[in-house]
Structure 1
Amino acid sequence: MSQTLLFATDLSQDNRAAFARALRLAYAQGAHLDILHVLDPYLPHRVLHEVERAVSEDISATLTDLREDYALEAPALMIQTLVGSPHVEIVREAHERHASLIIMGMHRKRGQKDLLSGTTVMRVLRSAPCPVVVASYLPTQPWQHILVPIDFSLAARQTLKEALVRFPEAKLTLLHAWSLPGERELGSQTYYAQWRDHEVTRLREALDSEVEGLMRELDGVPEVELVLEQGQPCDVLHDYMKRHSPDLVMVGSRGQPHHTSQLAEMLLNEPHCDLMLCRAW
């Protein structure tokens, strides 16, 4: 049975990168692509049909342009307009169509953190029944370097599994941020440095075991590199991204309603690359 990808568009020029990414993903995965636009419920009824027709024509024109730009054949697709609250309709359609992925774009200038919490993107991220991609960059190529922040949580394990299954051709970097008690006060002491090195080695062995255990369950896994860096997770992730410029960061959600992680909010506030948020269950 073919997968269904749901692309939600607001028709803005900033959504073009997400549209192109949705096309590339659907084409690469042989998936059905549902293209959705949600109309304002307060539109006058007498103009609603005209607006729906105009929206469909605009989406079709953009689809033709992108296919020509990227030399892609059209995947099986459907263009649909609905009336209602955007995040509600997107989540409902994802449920009803058993979507395996939602693709959206960002239409907010970076750095405007105070405007992030109430956006459609954030509301969808908090309620979606499947992973959500927020695409900010034109897809000149498939994602080749994917960064996955990991710890020992169920959310991190599920995110890693999603990465291994979905992107078997990519290079995966697993990034773990570590810190130990007493570093500031005792870091210069010889015995503390020895203890720290021992603890970091033990941590790496535990993470290696965790990753290898998951990889044994799967076939055809991609190249994987495990990186441990000292510091707080947001700081470590931000610094690593600036140094290495990954194409995609995949972050786990702990499945708590109306909640997104600090990592996800940081990545959305300063989108250095595309983001995928994966639920723990």
Structure 2
Amino acid sequence: MPRLERILITTDFSEPAGWAAERGAMLAAAHGARATLLHVIAGDVYDRLQRLMGSEAEALQEGLARGTREALESEAEELGQRHGQPPEVAVLTGAVTHAIRDYMERIDADLGVLGASGRGLTRQLWLGSTAERVLRRCRRPVLVTKGPPAGAYRRILVPVDFSRASRVALNWACAVAPEAEVVVLHAFEVPFEGKLQYAGVDEDTINRYRMQARDEATTELGQLVAGLDDGRGKVRRSVHHGYPARVILEQANAMGCDLVVMGKHGRGAVEDALVGSVTRHVLSQAGCDVLVAGSQ
């Protein structure tokens, strides 16, 4: 079972980043973890200052770095007042995505926390560009916050496809919020169902295939969650027919889940620099926080 001992919270001082900072501080307090609040000054900012300001650029750069650290320290102090222990602070300069990824490795962070979009960003591609790039590049678990936290997580949805990534995600769900109810969901589709319909296979036959697939999934789901429930009824199983991304979003909304925990890839995915299509869709469209368990 993973443990939360080091948490890296990234901020650009936007409102979504503030939600991430609040959630990260809450998790640190709940787990007795060390938290670090990080801001990365993009390297091209200094380049632009040099071009625009010439000899005055160096003083402006020093002022920018000093002001950023002061703002971080102020935010950390406020978080400490609300949650008992202020995060450490760090200011870096460089390519934002690479700096975040490398710093997570440097401090051996167990979890990264960031907002779904940053200052001035729209949902470029499928998520705010910084969050998207971090998720593509980072091997460690990343929590993407979608709104202001309203307390500890109460109900977590864990979509599974019985791959190794599913087991990692399930372990993370139990570790992040041990008191929360965990709903383990499998969404299935009958192989070649569309082609069977086009081929004129009758609906009764297709329904038999669906029932067989459901029974097999139910059995495998039972094996996956065996031993997780501690007798308090906090682990539920759910099997639904349909396209996985659609089913996940519908069930997360219908059950009032405040967190979805899922793997970076599904079955057969091998590229660390990519994010699976279902995970991408859920990250983009979910109304609640999403934790991507990474590929460690």
**Which TM-score applies when normalising by structure 2?**
0.82
- CA, structure 1 residues 228+129, in 2 after alignment: closer, same or farther (shift >3 Å)? same
* Other-structure match for 1:239: 250
% identical equivalent positions: 26
Offset, 1:12: 1.3
Structure 1 residue 52 corresponds to structure 2 residue 65:
yes
Larger mean CA deviation between 166-175 and 252-261 belongs to: 252-261
Q: Deviations over 1:231-262 (max 9, x none)?
A: 01111112212322311111102362320122
* Other-structure match for 2:112: 102
* Other-structure match for 2:220: 206
**Could you list the runs of 5+ residues in structure 1 that have no partner in the other structure?**
none
Among residues 73, 82, 94, which one is paired with 1:84 in the alignment? 94
* Other-structure match for 2:18: 16
| Contact 1:167-1:222 at 8 Å conserved across structures | no
Among residues 257, 261, 265, which one is paired with 2:276 in the alignment? 261
Q: 3-state SS of the aligned residue for 1:279? A: coil
| Contact 2:186-2:240 at 8 Å conserved across structures | yes
- CA, structure 1 residues 155+51, in 2 after alignment: closer, same or farther (shift >3 Å)? same
Q: 3-state SS of the aligned residue for 1:204? A: helix
- CA, structure 1 residues 187+146, in 2 after alignment: closer, same or farther (shift >3 Å)? farther
Distance 1:187 1:170 in 2: 43
Distance 1:187 1:230 in 2: 18
Count of residues in correspondence between the two structures: 273
- CA, structure 1 residues 113+59, in 2 after alignment: closer, same or farther (shift >3 Å)? closer
Offset, 1:274: 0.5
Offset, 1:141: 0.6
Where in structure 2 are the equivalents of 1:178-197 lying within 5 Å? 178-181=188-191, 182=193, 184=197, 185-186=200-201, 188-189=203-204, 192-197=206-211
- CA, structure 1 residues 32+253, in 2 after alignment: closer, same or farther (shift >3 Å)? same
Where in structure 2 are the equivalents of 1:85-164 lying within 5 Å? 85-107=95-117, 114-116=124-126, 119-164=129-174
| Contact 1:9-1:35 at 8 Å conserved across structures | yes
Offset, 1:194: 4.3
| Contact 2:143-2:292 at 8 Å conserved across structures | yes
Aligned-pair RMSD on alpha carbons?
2.7
**Could you list the runs of 5+ residues in structure 2 that have no partner in the other structure?**
47-56
What is the identity, as a one-letter code, of the residue corresponding to 1:240? Q
What is the identity, as a one-letter code, of the residue corresponding to 2:131? V
Q: Deviations over 1:134-153 (max 9, x none)?
A: 11211121111111110111
| Contact 1:245-1:272 at 8 Å conserved across structures | no
**Which TM-score applies when normalising by structure 1?**
0.86
* Runs of 4+ off more than 6 Å: 219-222
Offset, 1:103: 0.5
